Amino acid sequence: MHRSAKRLASLLACAAVPVMLVAGCSGSDTKTSDKASEAPSKSSSPSPTVAAAKYKKLPNPCEAFSKGTLDKLVPEAKDKSGDQGDSTDATTHGTCTWASSDSQGVDGTQFRWLDIGFQRYDSDPNPQIGSGEKRATEFYAKTVANAKATKGAKKLKVVKTSGTGDEATTLTYDIKKEGTAFTNTTVVARTANIVVMINYNGANMSGDDTPKAADLLKRAQPAAKEAVAAAVKANG
């Protein structure tokens, strides 16, 4: 039991790595944008070409998925309500995570990790910053690029995903952390001025087979569509 507890703690630490990618990207981008927003505009009047941001709100990230979706992605999660991350402004940034560990005794244990992040951008009259949609598009591209550059990723596959917001990209890859093999699926989607980021990964314990990327993908892509729909619904 002691070894199992230590093993699960190690898995939780490893599974949280994709979250750092999301938090790191959004955090640095927001900080840079804030500095740019504080800089005085070169123009004496706001640019009439900067369109207003389409969406003004974000959904509660821990309520982005239905109970049925969570039952499929993290069936053995102890708390289906999720663990909501801290945010200084819930209208611009929000995250939530879930962890699931399904023990099958001598047949091994399947571990699942799910996290979601929302990032919303307002329009800025400074043409160097631009509209909320422009800023979200730039962040979307940066997030996809960072996911592609994940250190240690193997068998990386990148595909455009249709029917999920204005644009979406799905990445799957294998990665090993502290001797444990993970299969990871990342979906990055944008709808107008909101970017949705989902990481869904699994690992084996006690000799159980590593989950197949195709199986995780079948669950992650519909979840991404559901999260985008939640963002639209939050804005009426």
Structure tokens at 167: 């644009």
Q: How far apart are CA 23 and CA 17, in angstroms?
A: 10
Q: What is the per-residue pLDDT for 22?
A: 45
Fill in the DSSP letter of residue 60: -
Over residues 78-107, the mean pLDDT reads 88
Q: How far apart are CA 136 and CA 125, in angstroms?
A: 15
Cβ count within 10 A of residue 171: 20
Confidence of residue 191 (pLDDT cuts 50, 70, 90): very high
Q: What is the per-residue pLDDT for 169?
A: 97
Q: What is the per-residue pLDDT for 60?
A: 97
The DSSP code sequence of 104-143 is -GGG-EEEEEEEEEEEE---BSSTTTB-HHHHHHHHHHHH
Q: What is the per-residue pLDDT for 48?
A: 62
Among 13-22, 37-46, 90-99, whose mean pLDDT is lowest?
37-46
Q: How far apart are CA 36 and CA 1, in angstroms?
A: 52
In the chain, what are the domain boundaries? 2-36+53-234
Confidence of residue 209 (pLDDT cuts 50, 70, 90): confident
Of residues 202 and 121, more confidently modeled: 121
Burial of 119 (0-12, 13-18, 19+ CB in 10 A): buried
Check if the beta carbon of residue 29 is closer than 8 Å to that of residue 93. no
pTM, to two decimals: 0.80
Domain 2-36+53-234 has CATH 3.40.1000: yes
Q: What is the per-residue pLDDT for 181?
A: 86
